[in-house]
Structure 1
Amino acid sequence: MNQLKPYLLRATRDWCLDNGLTPHLLVDATAAGVVVPTSHIEDGKIVLNTSPRAIQAFDIDDGGVRFAARFGGKEFFVEAPLNAVLAIYAKENGQGITFPPEAAAMPTAKAGTPPSKEPPPGKPPRKGPALKIVK
């Protein structure tokens, strides 16, 4: 089954462009496979203008987002895997979509190991129901 994320990214970008808005992509610049100009990274993230006036050769698929852009007058080919894309939104009003962290980046239990029944640290153990039957 195809991933949903590229479809959501494409649809949100199209919505921005159809409404005369500037689509911006928020990317985790520290994720593996991200190719962006390091001079524009702030707090490990970069905001990229994906309007047709700012970029060329825009492509999005299950592998990620790719396009050519100019940064400080120099051409640069940008690549961002889907797991690095954190949000797409309109610059003018902030409307768009944010994405939760990818499952691949979250720690998982070892295969064949049953999940722990203990509550996570810092959470009190769950008590039974507080309601009683009244006759």
Structure 2
Amino acid sequence: MLNSPDASSTRPYLLRAMHEWCTDSGFTPYAAIFVDETVQVPMEYVKNGEIVLNLGYDATSGMTLGNEFIEFKARFGGVPREIIIPINRVMAIYARENGQGMSFPMSAASDAVAVPKKASTNRPALSAVATPIAKDGSDDEPPTPTLPSGRPALKRVK
């Protein structure tokens, strides 16, 4: 239905466009995700209710950038995990190398999308907080430009 909020959302199209731009330009696409009960990510890598993920083809397997979800498999500390992210939980997508990208307004909690049936419901509570481990096994967190408030700061792409 064309009048539904999801049907008119530009977010999935803009995410795909930014992902393609990063890839075509030789940059690594990273996404900042607001983690709540609708997001399936390794909770031990969530910090302050957020996680930054490498969405590059070298770091993911079987990625689908759909209109409702981003889905892929990735390794965290050598352990394969299935990742499912509702599109409305993506706060930003940007190039790791230069910070250029796009941020999105966070919708109200009432906008929560149900997690697909294949998603696990036996995940730890959001209080599980740890520093993410990079794909190469180092303990370095991905370089995210930040403002004093701790939110990602992005440059405009014109």
Counterparts of 1:53 and 1:97 in 2: how far apart (Å)? 22
| 2:10 maps to 1:4 | yes
Percent identity between matched residues is 41
- Note the 1:71-86 alignment, pairs <5 A: 71-86=76-91
Separation (CA, whole Å) in 2 of partners of 1:91 and 1:13: 12
What one-letter code is carried by the residue in structure 2 that aligns with 1:68? K
1:17 aligns with 2:18: no
Q: Which amino acid aligns with 2:19?
A: R
Distance 2:25 2:99 in 1: 13
d(CA) in 1 for partners of 2:83 and 2:31? 12
**Which structure has more strand as a fraction of its residues?**
1
The answer to whether 1:94 aligns with 2:99 is: yes
Q: TM-score, normalised by structure 2?
A: 0.63
Q: Deviations over 1:64-104 (max 9, x none)?
A: 111100000010010110121100000111110100121x4
Please report how far the alpha carbon of residue 62 of structure 1 lies from its aligned counterpart in structure 2 after TM superposition. Answer: 2.2
Q: What stretches of structure 1 of length at least 5 have no aligned partner?
A: 108-135
Tell me the equivalent position of 1:39: 44
Taking structure 1 as the reference length, what is the TM-score of the superposition?
A: 0.73
Amino acid at match of 1:89: Y
RMSD: 1.6
Aligned: 1:57 with 2:62: yes
Q: 1:98 is aligned with what amino acid?
A: S
How many residues in Structure 1 have an aligned counterpart in Structure 2? 105
Which structure has the larger Rg?
Answer: 1
